[in-house]
Amino acid sequence: MASGKRFTPQMPEPDSDGAPAMDGWGFADSGFAITDDGKVTMTGSRYPLSGKVLPHLIPWISGILGIDVDPFDRNEPHYPPQVPAPVQNRKFQKALDDIIPSSRQSDDAETRLRRGHGHTQEDIWAIRYGSIARVPDRVVWPETEDEIEALVQAAVKHDVAIVPYGGGSNVSEALRCDANETRMIVSVDLGRMNRILWVDPQNHTACIQAGAYGRHIHTALKAHGFTMGHEPDSVEFSTLGGWIATNASGMKKNRYGNIEDIVRDVTAITVDGKLERYSVGPRESIGLNPRNLLFGSEGNIAIITSAIVSIFPVPDIRSFDSVLLHNFEDGVALTEELMRQGNIPASVRLVDNMQFQFSQALKPATTGTLARIKSRFQKFMVTKLYGYKPDQMCVLTLVYEGNKREVSQQQSRVRKLAKKYHGLTAGAENGKRGYTMTFAIAYIRDFVMKHWVIAESFETSVPWSNVVELCDRVKKRVVAEHARRNLPGSPYVTCRVTQLYPTGVCVYFYLAFYYKGVENPSEVFSEIEHAARDEILKSGGSLSHHHGIGKIREQFVDRIHSPAGRTTVQKVVAALDPTRVFGASNHGVRAHKG
C-alpha cells in the first residue's frame, strides 16, 4: 500500500515550455511547411516527425482529392482580422480594478480575439480569411477563488457577461461570443490557476486547479510515480476545467476511465457563491448532487476552479503493438470480441483504409540501400505473400499498460484474435508511431488550409450493431453532398474507432475537400459536415461522444432531447443564473440580453 503525507508537486508556468500559436493549432515553433523543392517538412523539434522531410504527402493528397495540388500555390492568410472595439462598462471596470490588479487585465485586440474562438475549421477560417463579429471586451487572469467570486458578484451587480477560458482547444465553437450580446463581455482566463494543490499518495487522489494543462499535470504527477491517466488528443493544450466542462474522454480510457470516472469532486463559482464539498468519499449516495451539473456544462452555469481526481501508480510496463487487417469489417469484429473478453489494452484504435493510407503518406523518405530494400520487401510480403489489398487493408494500434502479467495476457489475447481474423502482427514500432503521431497530425489541418484544402474532424458514439453501417452511410452521404454542390475533385472522408465500450464505440471522422474557386468554402464545409451529422443521427449515432455541443451542434439538440428534456435544461440554467451572467450561450441556451 502506498503511504505518506500529502505533498505539493512543482508545476511549470503555463507557457514556460513554449508559446502557443495564435493563428492555428499547437505551439508557435511547430507546424508543417513546404521545402524549397516542394516537399513537406515539420518544423520544430517536439515530435517524431519534426525535422523530417515527407516526400509522399503532397502527391498522395493530390491523388486522393483528384486535384493537382501545387505546393507553391498558397491562399495567404491575413491574420489577425480587424477586432471590434471593446464595449465599456465603467462602473463594472471600477469594481474590477478593486478585485484584480491592472497587470492581470488586458483589452489588447489580439488577446481578446484569441479568447473569442476555439479550434473548429470555422474558427480558424474566420481569423485567417474572415472576421469574428464579437469577441470578449476584456480579459482577466484571476489567481484565487476569492477573486473569481468577487468578479462574478460584480458582474451580477453591473450586468456584465463573463465567459471562462481554459486552453481554448474546443472544437465546438463554445467560445464564440453571441453577436447580439450588447453587454460588456469579460473572458476569465484560468491560466494562473494551474497548480496541483496537493497529492495524497495513500488515498490516490490529487486536488488540481482548473487551469492546469494536461501536459503539465502528466509531467508533474509522473515525477512522483503517479498518473491521472486522462490523455485526450488535445492533452498538450486542454485543461482540467475544460475536460470537466465538456465531459471529455481520453485515448487510454479503457484503463483509467473517462473524465467523469476520474473526477471525485469539483469546486466552482456560481452566482450564489462557491460550490464545494467539505469531504469526499470513495462513493456516495447523497441525493441530487450539484457536482454532476458541471459535467458538460460548457461555461453556462459556473466557473470551475478545481477538482479532486483519482490518480494511479505509473504502470510497470507501457508497450505498443499493431495488427494489420484485411478490411475494416474484420477490424470491427476483432475489437468487439476483444472488448467482450475483458482486461483490454489501455488504448485500442482501429483506422480504416483511407486513414491507413494517410499514415503511410506521412512516412519520411527512406534513406540508405538497406532501408529501401527492407521497405520493398515488407510491401512485397504484405501485398503479395499475405494477400492484403492496398485499397482495403487497415490497422489496429494498441497501447498496453499494467504489470507484466496484465500486459502479457492482453498481448496474448490480441495475437490470438489477430490470427482468428487473418490479421498480421505489425509490431511495436508501428503501434508507437500510430499512437504518438496523433499529436503531430493535429497540425495538418491548418497547414493544408493554406494550400486550398479545408478539413476538420467530428465524432460520435454508436452501438456495436451499427458501427460498420454508420461509417459506410456517412461516407456515402459526404460523397453525395460533395457531388451535389459540383465541388472540385473528390472529398477525403475517413474514420477510426478510438474508444471501446461493452455497448459500442466512439468513431472519429475526418473530412476534407479542395476549395479553390469555391465561394464561401467554410460555409460549404459546415453544410456538408452538418449533413454528415444528420446521417450519423439517422444511423443510430450520438450527437457527440466527447467534443460537446457548444454552438456548432446546437441545431441538433431537439433531435436528442424530448421537449421536456430541453425545458428541464433551460429551467436549470435559468434557476442557477437568472440574469444570464455566464454568457457562453452554449447548448442552444441564449444568454444575451440585447
Over the stretch 57-90, which tens digit does the pLDDT of each residue have? 999 999 999 999 999 999 999 999 999 999 999 9
* Beta carbons within 8 Å of 498's beta carbon, 6+ residues apart: 251, 349, 459, 505, 506, 507, 508
Q: Class of the 444-546 domain?
A: alpha beta
* Beta carbons within 8 Å of 578's beta carbon, 6+ residues apart: 271
Residue 365 corresponds to which amino acid? Answer: A
Question: What angle do the packed helices 467-484 and 521-538 form, to 10 degrees?
Answer: 150
Looking up cell 504489470, which residue turns up? 403
At CA 350, angle to CA 428 and CA 471, rounded to 5?
Answer: 165
Which DSSP letter does residue 364 get? P
Parallel, antiparallel, or unpaired for β 394-402 and 312-313?
unpaired
HSE (side-chain half, CA atoms, 13 Å) at 25? 25
Looking up cell 484560468, which residue turns up? 190
**Catalytic positions, please?**
508
CA quadruple 380, 381, 382, 383: dihedral, nearest 10: 40
Cell numbers describing residue 191: 491560466
* Beta carbons within 8 Å of 120's beta carbon, 6+ residues apart: 171, 172, 173, 456, 552
- pTM, two decimals, is 0.95
Which residues lie across from 523 on neighbouring strands?
Answer: none
Which DSSP letter does residue 384 get? I
- Give the Å distances, CA to CA, from 12 to 116, 143, 217, 223, 292: 25, 15, 10, 13, 30
Contact 398, 431 (CB under 8 A): yes
Cell numbers describing residue 503: 455497448
- Fold of the CATH domain 318-434: Alpha-Beta Plaits (3.30.70)
Which DSSP letter does residue 568 get? H
Residue 567 is predicted with a pLDDT of 93
Cell numbers describing residue 218: 502528466
> Can you list the residues of the chain whose pLDDT is less than 70?
1-3, 367-382, 384-386, 590-594
Cell numbers describing residue 193: 490557476
Question: What angle do the packed helices 328-341 and 404-420 form, to 10 degrees?
Answer: 140
Contact 242, 267 (CB under 8 A): no
Domain ranges of the chain: 1-23+77-314+561-594, 318-434, 444-546
Number of H helices, E strands in the chain: 18, 21
Q: Which CATH number is 1-23+77-314+561-594 given? A: 3.30.465.10
Element (H, E) at 59: helix 57-65
Residue 382 is predicted with a pLDDT of 66
Q: Pick from 111, 276, 68, 308: which is nearest to 210 by CA?
A: 308
